[in-house]
Structure 1
Amino acid sequence: MSESRESTNRRLLRARDLMDRTYAEPLDVGRLAAAALMSPAHFAREFKRVFGEPPHRYLLRRRIERAMFLLRTRDRPVGEICHRVGFTSIGTFGRVFRRLVGCSPSAFRERSQDRAQRAPTSFAMRWQRPGGSSSFGEALTRRGS
């Protein structure tokens, strides 16, 4: 790997780590690009190249993944969880949740109550990720790379 690409990847990881730490805060491409020391357009292109999805989709998945955890482990109202993971509208939260998980947050909570899972295996964790077979932000492997 060239030194330039390695430097770019490190800066992208810095921005992804910012998303992972502050997923509930309002984050825009400009702020993330600044963390990666890139222009917003270049950042968006490079992020998708390296992680396989645009920064906004990665952030949505992180928020939904956290919401899934809270729905399984906390007895808080769905609206509170919605705001706690960074959504400002419960309608948007429900729509994104349904699109990525396949059911409403309330239905997910009900379904999760039926399953007693003591410690998730890596298979179970992968299977329960929002979006199904997506790499969920991990670098895609290419043949010959």
Structure 2
Amino acid sequence: MLIRLHRARQRLAEIEEPSPPLSLIAQDASLSLGHFIRRFTAVFGETPHQFRTRIRLERAKELLALSEDSVTDICMSVGFSSLGSFSWLFSRHFGEPPSDCRQRLYPSIALPGHGQSHITPGCMSLMVGAWARSQFSRSTSVKDQLG
């Protein structure tokens, strides 16, 4: 039964339109809808609907940070049909409206062709530092060998 529930969870995590109804996902898991909801909640700690909504909200947050699409376009692309409901759920889940989240996240990420960022990710600093050290050690060892 756990394997069927895991497969159902994977299917719920897919953001596709139109979303398959829970009754179809329950049927694919060989469970009645009520039993599916109870078992899913017992195993994963949230209802299938709560899980699907959370996954969509998390995907929307990623898109707000990484794309220039409008909040409305993002809302629709992750499977919500009402901007008002989406904004309310987003605010409730993340503690801020989607537009505020975008203002906070979007400028802090350097995207190719989108100007210079004022924040450099730490991994990039480490990589540049390692490259510079390797260039320095290579140039000094050549000088030492030449003379």
Q: CA deviation at 1:118?
A: 7.1
What is the root-mean-square deviation of aligned Cα atoms in Å? Answer: 2.1
Equivalent residue pairs, number: 114
Change (3 A) 1:120 1:93: farther
Q: Distance in 2 between matches of 1:26 and 1:33?
A: 13
Asked if the contact 1:87–1:93 (Cα under 8 Å) also holds between the matched residues in 2, the reply is yes
Equivalent residue, structure 2, for 1:103: 96
Select the structure that is richer in helix: 2
DSSP 3-state at the match of 1:93: helix
The answer as to 2:31 corresponding to 1:38 is yes
Q: How does 1:54-93 map onto structure 2 within 5 Å?
A: 54-93=47-86
The Cα offsets for residues 46-100 of structure 1, whole Å up to 9 and x where unpaired, read as: 0000000000000000000100010000001000000000001101100110110
Q: Distance in 2 between matches of 1:61 and 1:24?
A: 16
Q: CA deviation at 1:119?
A: 7.1
Question: Unaligned regions of 5+ residues in structure 2, if any?
Answer: 110-118, 124-147
Percent identity over paired residues: 36
Asked if the contact 2:15–2:78 (Cα under 8 Å) also holds between the matched residues in 1, the reply is no
Q: Give the structure, 1 or 2, with the largest relative contact order (CA under 8 Å, sep 6 or more).
A: 1
TM-score scaled by structure 1? 0.72
Question: Unaligned regions of 5+ residues in structure 1, if any?
Answer: 1-7, 122-145
TM-score scaled by structure 2? 0.71
